[in-house]
């Protein structure tokens, strides 16, 4: 089964590719991976990686190398809400480990797992870039800062039953 972008996303993909000079289109790999992941429900199936490789005239293995290097790309399905707890030193010192334990306890999963209802996936990631307001958790595209175990559980309880997928492009840079 081959991957194709929706007509709307194909226009965006073409615009990303046009930003780069002839022979350098492979530089569009990051925004195309982000676009494909959003279209695919939060993860990148192999056919999406292959499709992007074909579009960019780039070997599949090179696309996979990029997708597997960055924690922002998921090579397995994730829940409706993808919780990413920052585990680097500033967040760790300010209680990120306690946040992670609170999430595991509340959701009844371990880090790296998805709830049975497919609603939540929990991962520990490296720096989310908001050290001043540690500890930080990213849920889908949103950042939550200065959290405590109590506030993260309250946040999880108050999330809507269905996450709305963002149509904004995180890769317009």
**Which residues in 77-89 are b (16+ Cβ under 10 Å) and which e?**
ebbbbbbbbbbbe
Give the residue-averaged pLDDT of 20-31.
94
Q: Which CATH number covers residue 22?
A: 1.10.10.1590
β-pair partners for 85: 124, 137
- Final residue of a domain: which of 49, 69, 89? 69
168 pLDDT above the threshold of 50: no
- Final residue of a domain: which of 69, 90, 115? 69
* Residue 30 shares a structural domain with residue 91: no
Residue ranges making up the domain that contains 89: 81-158
* Residue 153 shares a structural domain with residue 112: yes
Query: Is residue 166 one of the residues assigned to a domain?
Result: no
Domain count across the chain: 2
Contact (CB, 8 A) for 9 and 35:
yes
The phi-psi region of residue 118 (left if phi > 0; otherwise alpha if psi is between -120 and 50; otherwise beta) is: left
| Neighbouring residues of 40: CB distance < 8 A, sequence distance ≥ 6 | 48
Q: Model confidence over 108-134: pLDDT tens digits?
A: 999 999 999 999 999 999 999 999 999
Q: What is the mean pLDDT of the chain?
A: 91
């Amino acid at each position: 089964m081959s991957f194709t972008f929706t007509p709307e996303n194909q226009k965006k993909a073409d615009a990303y590719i046009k930003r780069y000079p002839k022979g350098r289109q492979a530089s569009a790999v990051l925004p195309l991976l982000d676009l494909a992941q959003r279209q695919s429900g939060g993860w990148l199936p192999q056919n999406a990686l292959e499709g992007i490789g074909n579009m960019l005239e780039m070997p599949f293995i090179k696309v996979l190398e990029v997708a597997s290097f960055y924690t922002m790309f998921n090579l397995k399905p994730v829940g409706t809400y993808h919780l990413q707890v920052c585990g680097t030193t500033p967040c760790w010192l300010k209680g990120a480990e306690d946040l992670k334990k609170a999430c595991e306890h509340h959701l009844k999963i371990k880090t790296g797992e998805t709830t049975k209802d497919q609603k939540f996936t929990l991962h520990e990631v490296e720096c989310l870039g908001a050290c001043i307001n540690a500890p930080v958790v990213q849920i889908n595209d949103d950042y939550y800062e200065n959290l405590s175990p109590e506030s993260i559980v309250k946040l999880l309880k108050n999330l809507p039953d269905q996450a709305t997928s963002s149509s904004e492009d995180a890769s317009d840079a």
